[in-house]
Amino acid sequence: MKTCSILLPFLLFISCRPAEQTNQFGDSTADNVIFGTELLTNLSPLFEYEIENERIAGAVTFIARNGDVVLEHAWGWQYVEEQKPLDTSHLFRIASMTKAITSVAILQLYEDGTLTLEDPVENYIPEFSRPAVLTEFDEETGSFETRPASRSITIHDLLTHTSGIAYGFTNSTFSTIYGNAGVPDLGTEENRTIEETMSILGGLPLAHDPGEQFTYGLNTDVLGRVVEVASGLSLNKYFREMIFLPLGMNDTFFYNPERQNDLVTLYTFRDGEFQLYPAEDYGLITPNYPVQGAMTYYSGGAGLTSTARDYAIFLQALLNGGELNGNSILRTETWDLMRSNQIGDLWEENKFGYGLLITTPEGEKDGLRPAGSLGWGGAFQTTYWIDTANEMVVVMMTQVIPSPYRDELYEEFERTLYSSLSNLP
């Protein structure tokens, strides 16, 4: 049985969703019904404009407040060229939204005493036993020189992106180094495993000494391999048994070719034109990832696919202090550790915990999320945050990489949401 809504004019769609998935959230209060109604009215022109002007193909939002669903809605198209309407049950590549889930997995192993946060990563991946920092790089040949790092990389360093491990897609030097070594940024359709690639990464240079800077990179992919070694399970199986099944997250996974018809089409901008992400010269990922290929690579930093609702279930569990409907994935004190500043003064305004950006009073902007909010996003243009002040979880998903309009869309979405919230009686 499914609960469905009607088709609204032109590009506005509310989709069908399985009734059995509704039990993680409560029935909306009168206030939340008012909030959701106004929010839908205010958001629809924004998303319709984005779709009509070919900035996105479609978008799904899921917002819950005080554990009740405020808004679950889809606008636009799953596949523009065939005029397939987007549905809230459709699947999005969530890229770096995977990182918070991998971070929780590590903290679960910390809770049960399997590892400590100060453990050197070489305890789990021996190839990291001699970390070295890049000192010289030859762009023509790809050769480089290094010096020994000041100390080992710890689990804490990986959780906070302070290890010195970079991303290739944000740094041309490391793009060459990683590319030559066969280490992917996001995922691969080749028959490879994170055991193989993280072992290779352990022998590659760092951007700086561990603990000295915040450098966003493949840190959480390394943590995914640590989870495998420490638990004795593949990352896929660990997520399923320790996080997804307890929370009732039925639509989050690395690979599921049986659901390929539910996967949202990936788009891009080339020469200023909105178009299908190309099969040839695809760069970061293939357009059919993750429903084709070997399906053996479990990227802890970027590999998962999910729905807006399913990811919101995970966020609601965190907002609740680590549990949902009597099923615990973290102790409250561990959640407090995860959402506390773990990088000191490495950032001047906002801070970073374990896998999460923390909005601070210094980083708070008028009309946007309040201080204490926690969030991040994904490269394929998906975003989320947990608003602890308003007891709210927010997920918004589209599928465009890269997009020159991403930041503008995110800010308008966020500003519209909080404007509607402020109008509650």
Specify the 3-state DSSP secondary structure of 23.
Answer: helix
Mean pLDDT of 228-237: 98
Share of the chain above pLDDT 90, in %: 89
Q: What percent of the chain has pLDDT over 70?
A: 94
Question: Mean per-residue pLDDT for 92-98?
Answer: 98
Return the pLDDT at 281. 63
pLDDT band at 280 (very low <50, low <70, confident <90, very high): confident
Q: Label residue 4 exposed, middle or buried (CB < 10 Å: 0-12, 13-18, 19+).
A: exposed
323 beta partners: 328
Check pLDDT > 80 for residue 190: yes
Residue 38 backbone dihedrals phi, psi, to 5 degrees: -65, -40
Give mean pLDDT, residues 317-333: 97
* Residue 287 pLDDT class (50, 70, 90 cuts): confident
Q: What is the mean pLDDT of residues 9-33?
A: 59
Rounded Cα distance between 217 and 39, Å, is: 35
The confidence band for 282, taking pLDDT boundaries of 50, 70 and 90, is: low
SS3 of residue 316 by DSSP:
helix
The enclosing H or E element of 421 equals helix 406-422
pLDDT at 323: 97
Structure tokens at 296: 């053996």
pTM of the model: 0.94
* pLDDT-based confidence at residue 17 (cuts at 50, 70, 90): very low
Written as one string, the DSSP assignment of 361-407 is TTT--TTSPPTT-EEEEETTTEEEEEETTTTEEEEEE--BSS-TTHH
- Please tell me the predicted confidence (pLDDT) of residue 12: 35
pLDDT value at position 107? 98
Q: Please give the mean pLDDT across all residues of the chain.
A: 93
Beta bridge partners of 93: 305
Query: Which pLDDT value is given to residue 284?
Result: 72
Residue 390 predicted with pLDDT over 70: yes
Q: What is d(CA 240, CA 242) in angstroms, rounded to the nearest whole number?
A: 6
Cα separation, 103 vs 357, in Å, equals: 13
| Helix, strand, coil percentages for the chain (3-state, nearest 5) | 35, 20, 45
For 35, the token pair is: 């909030």
SS (H, E, C) 90-144: CEEECHHHHHHHHHHHHHHHHHCCCCCCCCEHHHCCHHHCCCEEEEEECCCCCCE
How many residues would you count in the chain?
Answer: 425
Q: Which CATH architecture has domain 100-230?
A: 3-Layer(aba) Sandwich (3.40)
With 80 as the cut, is the pLDDT of residue 168 above it? yes
The pLDDT value recorded for residue 41 is 98
Q: What confidence tens digit (pLDDT) does each residue in 326-337 have?
A: 999 999 999 999
Q: Kindly provide the b/e burial profile for residues 62-74, where b requires at least 16 CB atoms within 10 angstroms of the residue's own CB.
A: bbbbebbbbbbbb
Domain ranges across the chain: 100-230
Model confidence band, residue 8 (pLDDT cutoffs 50, 70, 90): very low
